[in-house]
Amino acid sequence: MAFPLTHDDPQRLGPFVLVARLGSGGMGTVYLGRSRRGRTVALKTMHAEFAERTDFRTRFRLETDAARVIGDRHGARVLDADPLAEVPWLATEYVLGPPLDEAVGLCGPLPEDAVRALGAGLCEALAQLHGTGVVHRDLKPSNILVTATGPKVIDFGIARAEGDDRLTRTGAAAGTPAFMSPEQATGAEHPPAGDVFALAGVLVFAASGHGPFGGGQAADLLYRVRYAEPDLSGVPADLAGVLLRCLDKDPAARPGTGELRSLLDGDGAAPFAARLPGALHAEILRRGEAVWDIEYQRLPPPLPETGPGEPGPTGTAGTAGARTVPRRRALLLGGGAVALAAAGGGAWLALGPDDDGGTPAKKPDGPKAAPTAPGGAPKEKWKLRVAGLTRNNVVTLGGYVTYAANSGLGTVEARSGKRSGTTSELDEFREVFTQDGKLYAANLGRVFEVDPKTCSFREPAITDFTKLGLTGDAELVGAGDGLLYLSGRSEKARKKGRRGKKEQREEWLAVDSRSGKVTWRREGVLGATATRAGGMLVFGDQTTLLAVDARTGRKKWKLHFPDRPGLKNVEAAVRAHSGPYLFVGDRLLVAIRVADGKVAWTFGEDRKDSGEGEGKWRYGAPAVDGDLLYVLERDTGLVALDRRSGKLRWEMKTDWITGVDPGTAEVVMGRELLYVSGTGTQWVRALDPKRRRELWTYQGPGDSDSVVLRAHERGGRLIAVGTSHLVGLPLQ
């Protein structure tokens, strides 16, 4: 996805004119640029505060050198660079192809033949790199682009010469925990064999859709990398045997890149493109077309800051547009372009014939004013009428939005609003969940895998709840790491009391999504919400939080609110999860530590409450933005809290909060704006959290008791769902 340039972005870098932003991270910004002859390139720059430091300039230069070493066959060709400029920059070709993690999310796990060809290509790339004494040190799915001619390795931000620790603190682990080698996880030297370990993890992901050591907190991942056996479930048996050697904890026991290439793809007769799934071919072609749709745009300077008591201008398209600067993110995907701007690294993408630089022959057009709707809101990009929409069953996956309605499931393209697929084969859909790039829908005692693009059903993951020992009214309550989590009553009655009275047992179950077999089951409480956090599944009912190991079902911790002074009247329902915390509560907002279930902080005890609004929650589900939590507070409006301490940073008082139930309102963070859902015809309010003021209100196409909001970053849309309409607004 491309974003407009900001008012203070440079006009050009070297011989390239900047056209758009592709992404901005903690270390720098990635731009889309074009040369005089129309060649499209990706340009990475370093933020000024880092450019002033010699060590970061050295790292930038080494990244450029490593990108040149790997060459254009196995990486993105370096076209030009100036690491000594006031703003250091690096220009590379614009590679047509999605990163591997997005490819698997779009197409599912790749066929074994494709995985072997992918591995063979990556072995050649690493051999090229290692032959010059350089190790990559951060090989992972998002750093591998899948093209029609083979995989390309990118992001050399922490690559360095073997044995050279000048740019890495002794004892510090640099890299991505899920794909680190055991030696790297301890902060020790990462040799070429460490890249082989990471390569095996990448191939496990490509073949199964999950990493060899699962997910969760960094500390948990690093522990599993060092001591646990890899999870190769879903990997074909012959391939698993090869990868298991590469994942040996002892670097000396791993095969070299040459031997591994022979083990993976001895003859290499079939071309790489012939082994890719059709859907992946289509995505590569789509990106080739979409890159030409990116047009030059530059935002005007932001409006002057106003004091806390000074009134700001009311929301209009012009003023809202002036503030629509992309929020810093580590990963930005979509629109035919992929840009990674993580700390210390960048991703490089390229297109077009070789040429020299120069001045553009024609000056691009400037930005155009966005059309507005009543209330000063941007005009909707699309609008669809769908009868009987189900509020909670709206999920986003890839480039699509899937919804459940009285007529069944439906899918629309998030960007265009075009109907992609519908089905009325099944009714009474109760739950829809996404898991590892897949979509599951529960219906009438079964769980189906659903194609997010066409809404067609694949083989049921669970064919019959009763075969699992549950009654037919069991519910799907979560999904993750290849497991589906159910809540229901056991079919097998148990005796209780002297007279042997029989009653059913309430249970939670984990079922393997591939085999349909029960992985674990334990006694539970019906109606409890399930939240995945840090390798655990946290169940919450009105009084208790219970955390169990997501893979085994074993109890980790339990927090009974009535036993805690100050929490006796607080509902134990998880409202959000961010990093090390679960955010819980209704009358108070409570932060619970995921690791041990301890209360980190509470907010709201000393806040004034009118006592009005019976039946409404005092606090809503928080929206997380870095170290800030944005929360609706009844009688006040919006409050901003420090995520770690719970201290109040600021508050924004509003009149309309009296008509909103914080317990059901949706609060969604966009790129720069905060969106709050409403009721009736006032569907969406846009707030500027930096200037603490309301910008505009979107009037929906009809009355709605409650509106669901989803921010679709890839499609650049804010999806608003009412009782009978879906609307796509520009995501700002």
What's the whole-model pTM score?
Answer: 0.51
More confident site: 494 or 22: 22
Domain membership flag for residue 543: no
| CB 129 within 8 Å of CB 141 | no
Buried b (16+ CB within 10 A) or exposed e, 453-487: bebebeeebbeebeebbbeeebbbbbbbbbbbbbb
Question: If you average pLDDT over residues 82-93, what whole number do you get?
Answer: 86
Q: Which tokens sit at 477?
A: 């309550």
Q: If pLDDT is split at 50, 70 and 90, which confidence band does 353 have? A: very low
Return the beta strands (E) in 541-616 as ranges.
Answer: 544-549, 555-560, 574-578, 581-584, 589-593, 599-603
- Exactly one of 9, 65, 80, 138 is catalytic; which is it? 138
Question: If you average pLDDT over residues 536-545, what whole number do you get?
Answer: 88
3-state secondary structure of 225: helix
Q: If pLDDT is split at 50, 70 and 90, which confidence band does 392 have? A: low
Q: If pLDDT is split at 50, 70 and 90, which confidence band does 501 have? A: low
Reported as a single tens digit per residue, the pLDDT across 199-239 is 999 999 999 999 999 877 778 888 889 999 999 999 999 99
246-255, 303-312, 566-575: which has the minimum mean pLDDT?
303-312
pLDDT score recorded for residue 334: 31
pLDDT score recorded for residue 369: 38
Q: Which tokens sit at 77?
A: 């060709």
Give the CA angle between residues 304, 307, 313 to the nearest 5°. 55
Question: If you average pLDDT over residues 15-30, what whole number do you get?
Answer: 80
**pLDDT of residue 671 exceeding 60:** yes
Domain closes at, from 618, 652, 686: 652
How far apart are the C-alpha atoms of 144 and 177, rounded to whole Å?
17
Q: If pLDDT is split at 50, 70 and 90, which confidence band does 170 have? A: very low
Domain membership flag for residue 311: no
Domain membership flag for residue 627: yes
pLDDT score recorded for residue 251: 92
Reported as a single tens digit per residue, the pLDDT across 67-79 is 787 777 888 888 8
Question: If you average pLDDT over residues 373-399, what whole number do you get?
Answer: 79
**pLDDT of residue 309 exceeding 60:** no
**pLDDT of residue 167 exceeding 70:** no
Question: If you average pLDDT over residues 658-670, what whole number do you get?
Answer: 84
Reported as a single tens digit per residue, the pLDDT across 134-156 is 888 888 998 899 988 899 888 76
CA 368 and chain centroid, separation: 30
Domain membership flag for residue 233: yes
**pLDDT of residue 356 exceeding 70:** no
More confident site: 258 or 614: 258
Q: If pLDDT is split at 50, 70 and 90, which confidence band does 361 have? A: very low
Return the beta strands (E) in 237-380 as ranges.
Answer: 331-334, 337-340
Domain of 638, CATH number, reads 2.40.128.630
Question: If you average pLDDT over residues 531-544, what whole number do you get?
Answer: 87
**pLDDT of residue 540 exceeding 50:** yes
Type of residue found at 271:
P
How far apart are the C-alpha atoms of 199 and 257, rounded to whole Å?
10
Domain membership flag for residue 123: yes
Reported as a single tens digit per residue, the pLDDT across 408-465 is 788 899 999 998 887 765 554 557 777 767 788 777 677 878 887 887 777 777 878 8
Told to judge if 688 belongs to the known catalytic residues of this protein, a careful annotator would answer no
Q: If pLDDT is split at 50, 70 and 90, which confidence band does 343 have? A: very low
**Ranked by mean pLDDT, which of 198-212, 565-579, 672-686 comes out on top?**
198-212
pLDDT score recorded for residue 49: 74
Q: If pLDDT is split at 50, 70 and 90, which confidence band does 341 have? A: very low
How far apart are the C-alpha atoms of 712 and 670, rounded to whole Å?
9
Q: What percentage of the chain exceeds 90 in pLDDT?
A: 22
Question: If you average pLDDT over residues 653-673, what whole number do you get?
Answer: 85
Domain closes at, from 275, 297, 322: 275
**pLDDT of residue 491 exceeding 90:** no
| CB 383 within 8 Å of CB 699 | no
Residue 454 is classified by DSSP as T
pLDDT score recorded for residue 502: 59
User: Which ranges of 417-534 would DSSP assign to H, the alpha helix?
Assistant: none
Domain closes at, from 591, 623, 652: 652
Reported as a single tens digit per residue, the pLDDT across 279-304 is 888 888 877 777 777 777 787 776 55
pLDDT score recorded for residue 98: 86
Work out the burial of residue 584: count CB atoms within 10 Å of its CB; fewer than 13 is exposed, 13-18 middle, 19 or more buried: buried
Domain membership flag for residue 352: no
3-state secondary structure of 399: coil
Would you put residue 17 in left (φ > 0), alpha (ψ -120 to 50) or beta? beta
Domain membership flag for residue 65: no
Domain of 239, CATH number, reads 1.10.510.10
Mean pLDDT of the chain: 78
| CB 6 within 8 Å of CB 297 | no
Tell me whether residue 44 is annotated as binding. yes
How far apart are the C-alpha atoms of 660 and 579, rounded to whole Å?
28
| Count of structural domains, the chain | 2
Domain of residue 585 covers 550-652
3-state helix, strand, coil in the chain (%, to 5): 20, 35, 45
Domain membership flag for residue 538: no
How far apart are the C-alpha atoms of 69 and 180, rounded to whole Å?
22
| CB 202 within 8 Å of CB 141 | yes
Question: If you average pLDDT over residues 673-688, what whole number do you get?
Answer: 89
